[in-house]
Structure 1
Amino acid sequence: MSKQALPVVDLHAVACCPPIAARPLDADQAAVVAPMFKALGDPVRLRLMSMIASVPEICVCDLTPAFDLSGPTVSHHLKVLRDAGLVDSERRGTWVWYRVRPEAFRRLGALLEIGHS
C-alpha cells in the first residue's frame, strides 16, 4: 500500500465541476475531486464513512471496536477521510467525535448525476 499523502481538499473548488455525464472533467477539476474518491476507495474507510454517515455524529470510541485494527490505524483512516474533506471532527475531552460534511456528499452526488432520459 502506498504511503503517499492525500492533499487536503478545498470543498469550494469542487463546486466548479459539472456532472461527468454532462461533459468530461478537465485535469484541474479531476485533481480536485480525485482525493475524495481515493479516500473512499479503501474498504476500511468506506465502512467508516458508512458508519459516520448513518448517524448525526459518532465517537471514535464507537468506531474503533467495529474493526480488527489498532486504534492508531483507525485514527489514520479517519484522518484520511478528514483530509479529503469528507468528515469533520471535534475533540471533546479525551474523545474525538466525527460527522459527515454534507456539502462534500452533495458535490460528489452532483458530479455523479446521470440525468433522466
Structure 2
Amino acid sequence: MNQPTSSALDNQILLDALNRCVAACEHCATACLNEEHVKHMVGCIRLDRDCADICALTARLVARGSVHAKHIMKECVEVCRLCEAECAKHNHTHCQQCAAACKACADACAAYMG
C-alpha cells in the first residue's frame, strides 16, 4: 500500500483549510442577510463572498497542480486577512466562526508558500 507523500499531505491540509473557509464564508454571508440590521453587515457580506470565491479558485488550482496556484494564493491570503478582520468586528457567532476559518486558511496558505 502506497503512503501519501509529504507533498500530498501538505496539499490535503491546505485544501481542507481552503474548503472550510469557503463553507464558513458562505454560511456567514447567508446568516448576515438574516440579521436584524443587515445594512450594517454589507461589508461583511461582500468580503465573505469575495473570500469564498478566491478560496474556491485557489483550492481548484492547488488540486490540479497549477503553476498559478502560488500566485493566486498570495491574493487569497490578503482577502482572507481582510475577511478575518471584518468578521472579527461583529459579535455574531457566524462571524466569529468565519473569522477563525479565514485566519486558519490564511495561515495555511502562508505556511504552504514558505
TM-score with structure 2 length normalisation?
A: 0.34
TM-score with structure 1 length normalisation?
A: 0.34
Tell me which protein shows more helix as a share of its residues: 2
Tell me which protein shows more strand as a share of its residues: 1
